[in-house]
Structure 1
Amino acid sequence: MAATISSSTFDFLKKLSKNNNREWFNAHKELYIQSQENVISFLEDLIKEMGEFDPELLKIDAKKSLFRIYRDTRFSKDKSPYKTNFGSSLGMGKGSQKGGYYLHLEPKKSFIAGGIYMPEPSVLKEIRKEISLYGDEFLKIINQKDFKKYFPELDQESKLVKVPQGFEKEDTMGDYLKLKNFIVIHYLSDEEVMNPKAAGKMAAIYQVMKPLNDFLNAPFL
């Protein structure tokens, strides 16, 4: 039987957000361990489902894919010691050299994502070249009916004001060349996350984003 994200896991995260301190966390460490194990079991099933269309993912260790719950507070005004979510990198992370997938579990704020987040300058340049050269192919992917249904547009949060140097100002793909990240996000309700069939449903959405990852990875194959 497929693993399901339990309500107790979200209850733990809700309590943690209200008691984000070491004393409370240490007193409720068992709740954290149970929640973490629940998420890992779910990820194992999700990876199996996703392996049907992307066999490379089967190499991923579910436990190692989880980000630490401990926050790095050195350069942050917010000194809360713990994250109030479970995040899993399925080949996607800051500075990653290739397109991948990401899962974020948090009460009322869960989402799945894919693409490349904050790639190194050399990688970003190659992706921009690919988009400039093969714009029609890129547009066909992001305008595909199912893709548009889950991902109306690429994330626009990090973007240049002008077309980057090395590209024509009038390049028809100019708006996309300005992007610093190439990621798509689909938000999930708590009910969708805790649905007994969530792993299969999420995998189906991830499969829709795979052509984007394939395109982003093409320059490096």
Structure 2
Amino acid sequence: MISISKTTLDFLKRLKKNNTREWFNEHKPEFQVEKAKITEFYNAILQDLNTHDTVERLKIFRIYRDVRFSKDKTPYKPHFAGNFVRATKRLRGGYYLRIRPGESFLAGGFWEPNKEDLLRIRKEFEMDASEIRKILATKTFVKYFGKIEGNSLKTAPRGFDKEHTAIDLIRMKQFIVTRKFTDAEVLHPNFRNEVENSFKAMRPYFDYMSEVLTTDLNGVSTID
């Protein structure tokens, strides 16, 4: 089975310690080898995802950092990362995987929903939060992700009751689930299966949010 190579993590560790253009250019052939390995792994994950979901595109992010507006001027990211875009307007949410020594994780959900989507989600929670709470409380969800995460407002959004029983959910601005991995877990031959099982565990959450974001409060489809 395709897996993550120890040489990939080793290269990233050395890149973090030697994050300069001179060092990178000197070791670019090595980078190309590791990039090819990681691309093969991400494509295997894409293949796995399409056995139980419909993913139209994989995007592996460039290792080059945009330093124009950052205090951190190191030119390279000491990690590989990519996201998997679900197909059609009806399938909402996205999958993400990052491989970085000591800081690897996968994630899924809604990082920056636009104001229309955010209001629709909040209105759904205001009307009835029982279904989302049931999903978040399942053994599978808790096993893989623990809880839903994301930035929240300090108080109720305008137009919502601060005493509402679902105010903890209504205040949220992001709706993200994550799972962290140790280096030993990343290098384990079963890591690919763990990634796939984690992404599978997101589906009830994605299915619920997709239905919310493609219907109005009466349950009528808003998709042509």
* TM-score, scaled to structure 1: 0.89
Give the secondary-structure state (helix, strand or coil) at the position aligned to 2:178: strand
- Once residues 53 and 166 of structure 1 are traced to their aligned partners in structure 2, the CA distance between those partners, rounded to angstroms, is 39
Aligned counterpart for 1:113 among listed residues 90, 107, 110: 107
The structure 2 residue matched to 1:71, chosen from 65, 68, 84, is 65
CA contact (8 A) 2:121 2:213 kept: no
Cα deviation for residue 192 of structure 1 reads: 1.5
Distance (Å, rounded) in 2 between the aligned partners of 1:117 and 1:44: 23
The alignment status of 1:159 with 2:156, answered yes or no, reads no
Give, in whole Å, the separation in 2 of the partners of 1:134 and 1:89: 31
Distance 2:79 2:154 in 1: 33
Q: 1:189 aligns with which of 174, 182, 191?
A: 182
The AA in structure 2 aligned to 1:148 is V
RMSD, matched Cα: 1.6
1:17-56 alpha-carbon deviations (Å, 9 max, x no partner): 00101111111111111111111111111122222221x1
Distance 1:132 1:72 in 2: 40
Deviation at 1:105, TM superposition (A): 0.4
Query: Which structure has the bigger radius of gyration?
Result: 2
Instruction: Judge conservation of contact 1:99–1:214 (CA < 8 Å) in 2.
Output: no
Tell me the distance in 2 between the aligned counterparts of 1:52 and 1:200.
13
Shift of 1:16: 0.4
- Give the residue type in structure 1 aligned to 2:201: V
Deviation at 1:197, TM superposition (A): 2.4
Give the conservation status (yes or no) of the 8 Å contact 1:46–1:203.
yes
Q: What is the Cα deviation at residue 133 of structure 1? A: 2.4
Matched residue type, 1:198: F
- The size of the alignment, in residue pairs, is 210
Alignment match, 1:138:
132
Following TM superposition, by how much is the alpha carbon of 1:149 offset from its aligned partner in structure 2, in angstroms?
A: 1.4
Match of 2:57 among 48, 57, 60: 60
Asked whether the 8 Å contact 2:65–2:75 carries over to 1, the reply is: yes
| Unaligned runs of at least 5 residues, structure 1 | none
- How far apart, in 2, do the equivalents of 1:98 and 1:206 lie? 14
Superposed counterparts of 1:6-155, under 5 Å: 6-54=5-53, 56-57=54-55, 59-61=56-58, 65-91=59-85, 98-155=92-149
2:203 to 210, 213, 217: 210
Cα separation, 2, equivalents of 1:139 and 1:84: 37
Assess if the C-alpha contact under 8 Å between 1:13 and 1:106 holds in 2.
yes
What letter corresponds to residue 145 of structure 2 in structure 1?
F
The structure with more helix, counted as a fraction of residues: 1
Distance apart, 1:152 and its partner CA: 1.5
Whether the 8 Å CA contact 1:91–1:102 is kept in 2: the answer is no
Q: Is the 8 A contact 2:3 2:187 kept in 1?
A: yes
- The CA distance in 2 between the partners of 1:74 and 1:214, in whole Å, is 38
TM-score (norm 2): 0.88
Q: Which amino acid aligns with 1:132?
A: E
1:170 positional shift: 2.1
